[in-house]
A and B are shown apart, each in its own frame.
Chain A
Amino acid sequence: AQKITQTQPGMFVQEKEAVTLDCTYDTSDQSYGLFWYKQPSSGEMIFLIYQGSYDEQNATEGRYSLNFQKARKSANLVISASQLGDSAMYFCAMREGIIQGAQKLVFGQGTRLTINP
């Protein structure tokens, strides 16, 4: 079974600083995908970034980048120049399989990020 571990239950960061959210995973599959989602207090899950196991470059999306270290099985999310609106719960997720075109995701326990002004 695949497993996602987020070891930081909570993080506090000053506005405009960069922040790294940790995510490690465990899988025996050669082909897999890793996602990061943001969940504000409103409840909606917002997709941030994706990294495929065969992607040679680290994924980037605006202020978000993924520090993918395959040998260490880690996929840390880096947020540059943090903003007050970045305060939210952040989940790392792994695609556990594809069944008839649908992706089964397993989520880590999440990290609650608080940006201080």
Chain B
Amino acid sequence: DTEVTQTPKHLVMGMTNKKSLKCEQHMGHRAMYWYKQKAKKPPELMFVYSYEKLSINESVPSRFSPECPNSSLLNLHLHALQPEDSALYLCASSQAVLANAYNEQFFGPGTRLTVL
């Protein structure tokens, strides 16, 4: 199974709502990533979990709250979002690597989020 799944595929929410995005992989990867991608722009890294611990937070506003309940699951909790947060949210996973090595990041299909 070389797949990263994301749910939901589409989400429309108001600025006062609370919602969650879910990401799952069963490849045994110990690094998981959240990216935000605006239209016609490259993905921008938001958070990275390594061995279920938050290792990178790219100064993301607190209205985005990541969670890694186990090595296969990654959640992104959303609260009090703004219209400018509307974007494609991509999840990715990879094997943990050593220095000078590499492993490709496997991406999910993304969740298209619209904030009204």
Contact A101 B31 (CB under 8 A): yes
Interface string of A92-109 (1 = CB under 8 A from B): 000100111111111111
Residue of B nearest to A92 (CB): B42
Note all chain A residues with C-beta closer than 8 A to B104.
Answer: 35, 47, 50
Q: How far is the CB of A53 from chain B (nearest CB, A)?
A: 9
Q: Is A43 an interface residue, CB under 8 A from the partner?
A: yes
Note all chain B residues with C-beta closer than 8 A to A37.
Answer: 107
Stretch in B17-25, B59-67, B77-85, B90-98 with 4+ CB within 8 Å of A:
B90-98
- With beta carbons under 8 angstroms apart, the residue of B42, B53, B99 that contacts A109 is B42
Counting contact residues on chain A (CB < 8 A from B), the size range is 20 to 34
Contact B94 A43 (CB under 8 A): no
Residue of B nearest to A6 (CB): B42
Counting contact residues on chain B (CB < 8 A from A), the size range is 20 to 34
Residue of B nearest to A100 (CB): B50
Please measure, in the bound complex, the distance between the C-alpha atom of A34 and the C-alpha atom of B21, giving whole angstroms: 29
Residue of A nearest to B45 (CB): A104
Q: How far is the CB of A49 from chain B (nearest CB, A)?
A: 9
Q: How far is the CB of B54 from chain A (nearest CB, A)?
A: 10
Give chain A's interface residues, CB within 8 Å of chain B: 31, 33, 35, 37, 42-47, 50, 52, 54, 91, 95, 98-110
Contacts beyond the supplied A102-B49, A102-B50: 16 A-B pairs with Cβ under 8 Å: A45-B90, A47-B104, A50-B102, A50-B104, A99-B50, A99-B55, A99-B56, A100-B50, A100-B53, A101-B96, A101-B98, A102-B33, A102-B48, A103-B97, A103-B102, A109-B41
A-B contact pairs, 19 of them (CB 8 A): A42-B109, A43-B88, A43-B112, A44-B109, A45-B90, A47-B104, A47-B105, A47-B106, A100-B51, A100-B53, A101-B50, A101-B98, A102-B48, A102-B50, A102-B96, A104-B56, A106-B45, A107-B43, A110-B40
Give chain B's interface residues, CB within 8 Å of chain A: 30-31, 33, 40-43, 45, 48-51, 53, 55-56, 88, 90, 92, 94, 96-100, 102-110, 112
